[in-house]
Structure 1
Amino acid sequence: MWRSTENAYGLVTILFHWLTALAVIALFGLGLWMVELTYYDAWYRTAPWIHKSLGALLLIALAWRLGWRIIDRPPPPEPSLSRFERIASRSTHLILYLLLFAVAITGYLISTAEGQGISVFGVFEIPATLSHLPGQADWAGELHLALAMALIGLAAAHALAALKHHFLDRDRTLLRMLGRSSSPQQPTQERSPR
């Protein structure tokens, strides 16, 4: 099932979701680690190259994901969700998308501040279109870190909400993003002794 249905997300949406989650976690960890490297560390040049390449691929994937979301509407929220939960869910998803793009764009501005394009694993290059602004690398770097921290924080809250829906509410919210449309097992009732 490539496309979403009334009961579950389609395979393309599921892959975009989990690949994005893995990429964000990997990029965040790599980014924090690489800024602590010194000139004499073996990974001093390689880690930023990998970070930039993965970030560029993530930006391309995000554009595809957004296009896919426009043509493949997600299933409606679980009927058990309150009005507040529906609004919170829509708002969180919108802010996550905005943060993903903002983090990627500020990363692009850091990488192209001196007018050099971004080599994506040596396969192709994304050209520098906006560069040589006063202090570009510095302010873009500070903004990039702040936005990345906000993204990780909101993604963690998003994950906790999914776990809450699964374990406390016992609804299908998480299962649908795992490709399953059936409901979770209901707790078995204890039989009274005879």
Structure 2
Amino acid sequence: MELRNTDTHYGIVQVLMHWLVAIAVFGLFALGYYMVDLGYYDAWYRTAPHIHKSVGLLLLALMVARLAWRWVSSAPTPQASHKRWEIVLAHLAHIILYLLIFTVLVSGYLISTADGSSIMVFNWFEVPSVTGQVKQLEDVAGKVHYWCAWALVGLAGVHGLAAIKHHVIDRDETLRRMLGLSAR
């Protein structure tokens, strides 16, 4: 498998970044869903948010790298069997997925730094607040974070179902290309 994308295939860098982002998004969603009901005396009360914030900030760095990689290595051309409306919807879905991911990540950062404090990433390094103390920022960012996270997971689910539709019903290479398994 090649490093960069070609006109017909995704390269290993794009494939790995795609699946790392997918695992992180669904993992962060599950952890976030779990941790909101933790009680003060629960063993995970402090650990879960620390992991959630740390992985979220690492995902933000990965998404910036992924966006840069898209400029360097453009996506393969759509398959000839794809209808025009499928191509347009897929393109629109990818744009919205990127926007939602960045919105969820930035709003999560703003929730945690609204009081002016920094975020410690796995005790490796600290990411400072860029806003300082801003009243009610945590509440506004929290609502944005919550609703955009649900929208992101919903759209990512539809995205996955569309890939399965292409694989099972259309019997094309769409899913196999992103798995790095397509025929050359």
TM-score grouping bracket, smaller chain normalisation: over 0.9
Bigger Cα Rg: 1
Which residue does the alignment assign to 1:163?
Answer: 164
SS of 2:169 mapped into structure 1: helix
1:7 shift after superposition:
1.7
- What is the CA–CA distance in structure 1 between the aligned matches of 2:94 and 2:165, rounded to whole Å? 17
- Whether 1:108 and 2:127 are equivalent positions in the alignment is no
* 1:62-109 C-alpha deviation (Å, 9 max, x unpaired): 000000011001100111111100100100000000000000000000
SS of 1:119 mapped into structure 2: strand
- Whether 1:57 and 2:58 are equivalent positions in the alignment is yes
1:143 shift after superposition:
1.1
Which residue does the alignment assign to 1:96?
Answer: 97
Which 10-residue stretch deviates more, 99-108 or 137-146? 137-146
The residue identity in structure 1 corresponding to 2:79 is: E
Which residue does the alignment assign to 1:189?
Answer: none
Dislocated runs of 4+, deviation >6 Å: none
> Residues 109 and 131 of structure 1 are in contact (CA less than 8 Å); yes or no, is this contact kept in structure 2?
no
> Residues 116 and 132 of structure 2 are in contact (CA less than 8 Å); yes or no, is this contact kept in structure 1?
yes
The residue identity in structure 2 corresponding to 1:105 is: V
* 1:113-133 C-alpha deviation (Å, 9 max, x unpaired): 110111100101111001322
TM-score, normalised to structure 2's length? 0.97
Aligned length: 183
> Residues 104 and 148 of structure 2 are in contact (CA less than 8 Å); yes or no, is this contact kept in structure 1?
yes
TM-score, normalised to structure 1's length? 0.92
Which residue does the alignment assign to 1:74?
Answer: 75
- What is the CA–CA distance in structure 2 between the aligned matches of 1:30 and 1:130, rounded to whole Å? 26
